[in-house]
Amino acid sequence: MGTKFRTLLAPIGVSTGDGRRFASGAITLAALPIPFEWARSREMGHDGAVVVGVIQEATVATVSQAVADGWISAEAAKASGLGNDAEAVWGRGELFDDASREDMPRLAEDVAEAMHLIEAGTLGPSVDLDSFEAMPVLEGSDEPLDWETLEAIYEETGEEPAIELLVTEGRVRAATLVSIPAFAETSRPLELVAAEPADGEQTDTEAGARTVALIASVATLARPAVAAFALPELDGLTPITWDWDNGRVFGHIAPWSTCHVGYPDMCVTPPRDADGSYAWFNRHAVETEDGGTIFTGRITVGGRHAGLALSASGAMAEYDGKTVAAHVRAYEDAHGIVVAGVIEPELTAAERATLDRRKVSGDWRETAAGLSLVEVLALSPGPRQHSEPGFPVETFSRGGRQVALTASYGFGAASLRALTGFTPEAMREGIRNGIRAELARRDAAAELAAALEIDQAAHRDEARRALAAALGEGGQ
C-alpha cells in the first residue's frame, strides 16, 4: 500500500492571482477515485502531467468541518490562511510509491520525484474541471457583466475595470501537483499521513476515513473485475460495441488492413506499438474487485482531438478535461488494435444516447518509442475531417439503431483550447478590445452622422441660394 495523503484541493470564494474564482455551490465531485497527477514542468493547462497517485475521497466543507472530520490537520489548515468559515474542496488518497521499480520503472521514478518535492514543500494541488460554466464579472461581484456597466465605468473613470472569471458550475475530475498553484492557499496544506499503528489499532480519523470511503463506494457501481479488461476473443473485425446492460465496451479502433483515408497518395496503416504493451495509453490506475490495481486507458467524449502541435504529454493533459466514457485496455490481435473494458458508471442517459451516435477515434503521438496511442476519443459531429473515420470499421446496427462506429479520420487541425485553457488574461484582453472597438465604432458613427449633417446643411444652403438666384433671374 502506498503513502496516504490529505490536502486542500481548492478554496471557494477566493480569487486566484490571475483573476479566477469558484462561486459558492458551484463545485461538484466526479465519481471516485480520480487521478492525482504531477506536472514536471510549468506548462499551460497542466501539460506534461503524469499520474503519481489517486484521490480516493473528496468533499466540499468549511475549514472547521474539515479539521473536525480529519480532512486536514489544524496546523495545515492554519497554514492555508483561510478562515474557519471558508469553504473549500478537500481530498484524501494514496500515492503510488509502492510501485515496483522492476515492473513499472517510469511510474516509480515519477512518484519518487514528486514525493521528494512534496516533502520539501514545493508543490501544491490544482484542480482539473470538466463540464463547467463560467462568466466574466467585476472583481468581487457575482453578477454577470453587461455592456452598460462596462461602458459606465469606462466613461466615468477612463480606466478598464478589474474583471474576474467566476466559475458558476464545475466538476472536479482530477487534481495536479504544480510548483505554483493558481490558489496560493493550496501551497502548504498537503500532508503525507503516517502509516497505521503496528498493533492494528486505528485512530478516530482513520476510522472516519474508512467510513467515508465505504459510503462513497455504495454510491457507485462495484469495482470491476480484472477479467473485464482482458483481451476479447473476436472472430473478425469488430466495431466498438457498447453493452449498456452489462456495463461493458469492446471492439477495434483501427484495422490493420485499412489505409488512412486522410492520405490519398500513400497507404498509411495504423501504427503498431513498439512492444505491444500500449503503455502510453494504459496509464490510468483502476482499483478492481480482485483487490489489485490495473492500468487502463480511456474513451473520452467532448469536442475534437487535441491540437497537432501538442506533445504527447500535452495532448494527454488536454484529454484530461474531457468526459470519460469508458475505462479500457488496448491490445493488438490479428485484425487490428482492440480495446476492452468497462463503461463509466456515472454517464447520464443523454450521454449514453450520444455515444450510440458517435464514432471513436485514436490519437497517436510521437514518443521515444515512436508513434504511440495516447487516447481514444468519441468524435463530435462536424466537418468531415473532424467527424469521419480515417481507419474505417464497418458500422453495424441493432434494431435499426446505430450502436457502434470506430477508427480515426485523423488527428485533425489544431483545435480550439477547452475553456480551461482560455486564460483570464485572454478574457480580459478580449473584453478590453471589445470595449475599445465598440467605443471606436460609436465615435466613428457619431463623426459620420455629424459629417452627413454638415453635408446636408451645405446642400440645403446651396439649394436655397440656387432657388433664390432662379427666382431673382425670373423677376428681371
b (16+ CB within 10 A) / e for 120-135: eeebbbbbbbbebebe
In terms of Cβ atoms closer than 10 Å to its own Cβ (0-12, 13-18, 19+), residue 280 is: buried
Closest to 249 in 3D by CA, of 339, 331, 324, 323: 339
- From the list 364, 324, 318, the residue with the least C-alpha distance to 46 is 318
Residue 73 in this model has a pLDDT that exceeds 50? yes
Pick the range with the lowest mean pLDDT from 154-158, 183-187, 229-233, 420-424. 420-424
Interatomic CA distance for residues 62 and 357, integer angstroms? 42
pLDDT, position 222: 56
Closest CA to 13 of 77, 124, 123, 89: 89
The reported pLDDT for the residue numbered 229 is: 94
Q: Is the pLDDT assigned to residue 191 strictly greater than 50?
A: yes
Q: Which pLDDT score, from 0 to 100, does residue 445 have?
A: 62
Query: How far apart (Å, rounded) are the C-alpha atoms in residues 401 and 64?
Result: 53
pLDDT at 303 over 50: yes
Mean pLDDT of 400-416: 29
Q: Return the closest-CA partner of residue 372 out of 452, 270, 252.
A: 270
Lowest mean pLDDT among 61-70, 237-246, 334-343, 389-398: 389-398
pLDDT of 440 reads 66
Rounded CA separation 332/269 (Å): 14
Q: What's the whole-number mean pLDDT along residues 236-247?
A: 89
Place of cell 439503431: 401
pLDDT on residue 393: 59
- Mean pLDDT, all residues of the chain: 76
| Whole-number Å distance between alpha carbons of 343 and 329 | 12
Separation CA 424–CA 396 (nearest Å) = 45
Kindly report which listed range (55-59, 352-356, 425-429) carries the lowest average pLDDT score: 425-429
| pLDDT tens track for 107-133 | 888 898 888 888 888 888 988 887 778
Residue with cell 484542480: 127
Above 50 in pLDDT, residue 404? Answer: no
pLDDT for the residue numbered 45: 56
Q: How confident is the model at residue 326 (pLDDT cuts 50, 70, 90)?
A: very high
pLDDT at residue 213 tops 50: no
Domain extents for the chain? Answer: 4-218, 226-421
Dihedral angle computed from the Cα positions of residues 420, 424, 428 and 433, in that order, rounded to the nearest 10 degrees: -50
Maximum average pLDDT range among 151-165, 230-244, 371-385: 230-244
Helices of type H across 158-250: 204-218
- Cβ 27 vs Cβ 92: under 8 Å: no
Chain centre distance of CA 355: 19
Averaged pLDDT, 207-219: 30
Model pLDDT, residue 279:
92
User: Considering the entire predicted model, what is its pTM?
Assistant: 0.45
Nearest in space to 36 (alpha carbons), one of 118, 83, 96, 117: 96
Report pLDDT for 9: 92
Q: Is the pLDDT of residue 101 over 70?
A: yes
Nearest-CA neighbor of 284 among 49, 10, 6, 5? Answer: 49
Q: Stretch 235-250: mean pLDDT, rounded?
A: 90
Q: Which of 155-164, 210-219, 243-252 has the lowest mean pLDDT?
A: 210-219
Q: Is the peptide bond before 232 cis (omega within 30 degrees of 0)?
A: no
- Distance CA(13)–CA(235), nearest Å, equals 56
**Residue 448: pLDDT band by 50, 70, 90 thresholds?**
low
d(CA 468, CA 43): 77
223 and 287 in contact (C-beta within 8 Å)?
Answer: yes
Q: What's the CA gap between 395 and 416, in Å, rounded? A: 29
Using pLDDT thresholds of 50, 70 and 90, give the confidence band for residue 149. Answer: confident
pLDDT greater at residue 291 or residue 192: 192
Q: Which residue has the cell 480606466?
A: 159
Stretch 137-160: mean pLDDT? 82
What grid cell was written down for 322? 474531457
Question: Which residues of 212-322 form beta strands (DSSP E)?
Answer: 241-243, 248-255, 284-287, 293-301
Predicted local distance difference test score (pLDDT) of residue 210: 32
Q: Give the pLDDT mean for 152-166.
A: 82
Question: Helix %, strand %, coil % for the chain, to 5?
Answer: 30, 30, 40
Q: Model confidence over 256-270: pLDDT tens digits?
A: 887 777 666 677 788
* Alpha helices by DSSP H, 185-333: 204-218, 312-319
Over residues 379-398, mean pLDDT: 50
Element (H, E) at 26: none
Question: What's residue 56's pLDDT?
Answer: 95
Nearest to 175 by CA among 254, 255, 57: 57
For the four alpha carbons of 360, 366, 370 and 375, in that order, the dihedral sign comes to negative
Least confident of 8-17, 108-117, 434-443: 434-443
CB-based contact 329:227 (threshold 8 Å): no
What is the sign of the dihedral through the CA atoms of 175, 177, 178 and 182?
A: positive
Compute, in degrees rounded to 10, the torsion defined by CA atoms 376, 379, 385, 388: 90
Instruction: Enumerate residues 6+ apart whose C-beta is below 8 A from 75.
Output: none
Strand partners, 402: 397
